[in-house]
Structure 1
Amino acid sequence: MGTALRAAGFRWGRKELTHGSCQKDDTIPQNSRAQEDQREASHDGAQEPKRGAPKRWSQRVTKQSDALDLKQGVFKLTSAKKIAASLKRSAEHSSRRKAGAYRSALSMLTFYINRAGKTLPQTQRARLEKAKVELKREFGRE
């Protein structure tokens, strides 16, 4: 197909297909070698880290939640009942939360479990899953 177009007087420019009978050449001018080298150097795959952005946003959310004032180490407590009670207390006393107290507490607990992922030990994961059940019980949602 390319040879048929060329025979008909069409040629490919960098911008668009042009016809040979056109007076104006609509192709994009070639950049100088220095400009190309500068562009390649700035986009060589190595990206600069964003300044001021924390490395682990999920850790910051857990520590400095805008919705709940969590007791430090709440997810490390040894009892599911203590975890649920602490989350309930934090959710009920918070004036900045956007949803109901139950939803805020459960969201924070689920967030912590999901973000920990595979690194969360099975014993702690089981304790946190029990805390979800206890949280439901404390809010009377069973």
Structure 2
Amino acid sequence: MATKKATKKSATKKSSTKKAPAKKTAAKKSSAKKKYGPGVGKQVETEMREMHQGKLKSGRSGKKVTNPKQAIAIALSEARAKGEKVPENPNKV
């Protein structure tokens, strides 16, 4: 009896063709304004170079910075201090 059921199931299965969802042709841009000023990229570039050379130190403790994210954070804070166009720090309380 088990063989009869198996053959019935295989005979009743239909092959389904799945259609791919339509791709979005036009993506909306959130804003045309740039978030960062032109000097910020240069600041980040120099800080990253210092980090790779082992010369970048963190604040009071003076420990060597080895994390690229930390190096970028330092560069952004220094750019803010210089008056460059940088968005507000989301972590600042």
TM-score (norm 2): 0.30
Of the two, which has the highest radius of gyration?
1
Q: Which has the higher helix share?
A: 1
Structure with the larger RCO, 1 or 2 (CA within 8 Å, 6+ apart):
2
TM-score (norm 1): 0.22
Q: Which has the higher strand share?
A: 1
